[in-house]
Structure 1
Amino acid sequence: MEQSATLGIETLKITQEQFILASHSLHLQRPGCDAVYPVGLCGWRKRCIYFFLLLLFVTMIVNLALTVWIMKVMNFSVDGMGKLQLNQDGLHLEGLSEFQMPLYVTEIKSRRGSSLLLRSDKNVTLNARNNQGQLTGQLSVGPESVEAQCQRLEVRSRDSRNLLFSAEEEEVTMTAEKFTVTGSEGAVFGHSVETPLIQARPSEDLKLESPTRTLTMEAPRGVEVSAAEGPLKISSRKDLQLRSTEGEILLDANSIQLGSLPLGVYASSTSQDFQQRVVYEVCVCPSGKMYLSPAESISSCQAMSSICLWS
């Protein structure tokens, strides 16, 4: 009992001390009047806020009006925008279109019954690439030339069944029934040409010419040169050779004329007798050179003729 009474007295003392400290703190000196702060905005701040709100409201109205105007001008709809329509097959575009950046598509085709036009101020280039992105084919249409870079170039008929023209790195093939050259200078070939027939148009001349080199015609079974309705002329600045390795050379005509053949003189004849002769015979030297010799009862062709000796 004594201990509990002692604890109660100490607790009362602590409480009394706290009360005294609290009472002293309440009797502290306070200022005479409290400061008054106004609530809200007033003056130039309030005017600025209202001005910014009005400006924001006007900007929103202008943006909304421009958006509605752009949608109306561009004809925005559920299917697309103006002449550009979105379909299940892709994009359908009508009229003229201009692309500022590269266009990547799998197929470009025009409407049925109309043509497709690709126009550029400089050139139009079509590229084809493989799965690795490497360039496999290119077609460039420029103001001065049309260039194609590919492994094989093919030109087919309208139904895509017949091959008309093909070009590779080592060979160029033309399978058309007729190849016509209408230029005034004809066609110029830098190397050999292989063809089964060379024929001129009706009522026109056919001319095969090599101005600075030789002209050679070869065939495994023979070469036939014929002129059905006109003369056939073969001229050469130097030698003209007709050679057959196994067969014969046949000149079949009503008359065969060999003009400007030299007159040969052999040792047993004099120049005066030679000039008085009227009939001559054609002689051939061992080298193949031909000349005229006075005709007698027997052949006057001799290998010791001056033509053969100096040929």
Structure 2
Amino acid sequence: MGRGGAYVSSRRDSESEIHAANIGIYGWRKRCLYFLVLLLMVLIIINIALTVWILKVLDFSIYGFGSLKLSGDDVRISGDVEFLNPVYASEIHANHDLPLVLNSKNNITFNARNRQGNVTGKFVIGSKEVKSFSERFIIYDSQENILFDASDESLTIGDIVKHVKFTVSGGVAFQGPIQANIISSNNEENLRLESPIGDVTVNAAETLTLSSNKLESSCHGDMSLESKTGKIILESSNIHITGLQKSTTTAGAYQLCICENGRLFLAHPSEMCDSTNSECN
């Protein structure tokens, strides 16, 4: 009994030693594992190096990367920027004293939208034209004074504008009435008011004054000078009326008489050119 038990015990010890010796990775498996670990480490190092290089090239930091910097609610971009898609911003301005330049191969369009996303105003700068789509168009000066105001109801030029000049060679055509204090031409040029197929009407609430070194008025039809409640005064040292027809009879003809104050009246051809106080007052 004793010998048999000792034999079994020694056998078990030898088997356990064999099993303990076989635990682990040996041979080509071990070499492959080391190769994979080494390859993985090389890839990790390469990825870290590439990441550091990309961050260095892009100048990436906690404030942004490259020319793009983030600070609070602002986005700052230095240098030239090319946008391939629409840009939405509440304010765009240049950095410090540098000018803001916008370039486009086709056109530049500015859209203003409401909270529903509908376009309420549009400003388009094209290659040959500039368009503005809005209910009202206003131009201010540096002091925020209105220079130009246009809407569906009226077109107004600001009170601070001293002179409005039209330098077109073909003239300026107005489809409606014109209201102005003074209408004058440039130096050494003529001022001409013309309506080729219509009427030219000049109205004044109080006084209408036409003054010039030489004033000419001509028409193809009738010309009337009418004053309903006041006077028509022609003041000159020489007044000439030429081109009148000559009559061979006195029937239906009257004398043209003039008072000392320059007032004109008609008298019967057979009577003296005498006047009473009513004609000359």
- The alignment's TM-score, normalised by the length of structure 1, stands at 0.64
Deviation at 1:217, TM superposition (A): 0.7
2:71 to 87, 108, 122: 87
Letter in 2 for 1:159: Q
Letter in 2 for 1:241: S
Q: Distance in 1 between matches of 2:189 and 2:38?
A: 91
Structure 2 match to 1:198: 183
Letter in 2 for 1:237: H
1:71 to 55, 63, 71: 55
Alpha-carbon spacing, 1:267–1:66, altered in 2? closer, same or farther (3 Å): same
Identity %: 34
Structure 2 match to 1:235: 218
Q: Distance in 2 between matches of 1:63 and 1:298?
A: 125
Deviation at 1:52, TM superposition (A): 9.3
Q: Distance in 2 between matches of 1:55 and 1:253?
A: 114
- Is structure 2 residue 198 aligned with structure 1 residue 208? no
Q: Distance in 2 between matches of 1:72 and 1:121?
A: 33
Structure 1 match to 2:95: 111
Letter in 2 for 1:182: T
Q: Distance in 1 between matches of 2:199 and 2:33?
A: 100
- Is structure 2 residue 204 aligned with structure 1 residue 219? yes
- Per-residue CA deviation, residues 115-167 of structure 1 (Å, 9 max, x unaligned), is 2111111111111122222222111111121111112111112111x211101
Alpha-carbon spacing, 1:69–1:265, altered in 2? closer, same or farther (3 Å): farther
Q: Distance in 1 between matches of 2:113 and 2:55?
A: 38
| Structure 2 counterparts to residues 98-177 of structure 1, below 5 A | 98-160=82-144, 162-175=145-158, 176-177=161-162
Deviation at 1:98, TM superposition (A): 0.9
| Structure label with greater radius of gyration | 1
Give the SS at the match of 1:180.
Answer: coil
Structure 2 match to 1:255: 238
Alpha-carbon spacing, 1:155–1:55, altered in 2? closer, same or farther (3 Å): same
* Unaligned residue ranges in structure 1 (runs of 5+): 1-39, 269-280, 284-295, 301-311
- Per-residue CA deviation, residues 178-203 of structure 1 (Å, 9 max, x unaligned), is 11112222322122111111122333
- Per-residue CA deviation, residues 85-123 of structure 1 (Å, 9 max, x unaligned), is 112351111111011111111111112322211111111
Q: Distance in 1 between matches of 2:181 and 2:190?
A: 19
2:171 to 167, 186, 192: 186
Alpha-carbon spacing, 1:190–1:63, altered in 2? closer, same or farther (3 Å): farther
- Per-residue CA deviation, residues 37-77 of structure 1 (Å, 9 max, x unaligned), is xxx9x99xxxx999999987776666544433332222112
- Per-residue CA deviation, residues 197-233 of structure 1 (Å, 9 max, x unaligned), is 1122333322212223221111222321111xx2011
Alpha-carbon spacing, 1:49–1:210, altered in 2? closer, same or farther (3 Å): farther
Give the SS at the match of 1:153.
Answer: strand
Q: Distance in 2 between matches of 1:218 and 1:111?
A: 54
Structure 2 match to 1:13: none
Greater shift, 179-188 or 118-127, is seen at 179-188
Alpha-carbon spacing, 1:77–1:214, altered in 2? closer, same or farther (3 Å): same
Q: Distance in 1 between matches of 2:91 and 2:131?
A: 21
| Structure 2 counterparts to residues 28-39 of structure 1, below 5 A | none
Letter in 2 for 1:123: N
Q: Distance in 1 between matches of 2:247 and 2:38?
A: 124
Alpha-carbon spacing, 1:258–1:56, altered in 2? closer, same or farther (3 Å): farther
Q: Distance in 2 between matches of 1:212 and 1:111?
A: 57
Give the SS at the match of 1:166.
Answer: strand
Greater shift, 244-253 or 62-71, is seen at 62-71
Letter in 2 for 1:75: D
Q: Distance in 1 between matches of 2:51 and 2:40?
A: 16
Give the SS at the match of 1:140.
Answer: strand
Alpha-carbon spacing, 1:57–1:226, altered in 2? closer, same or farther (3 Å): same
Aligned residues: 235
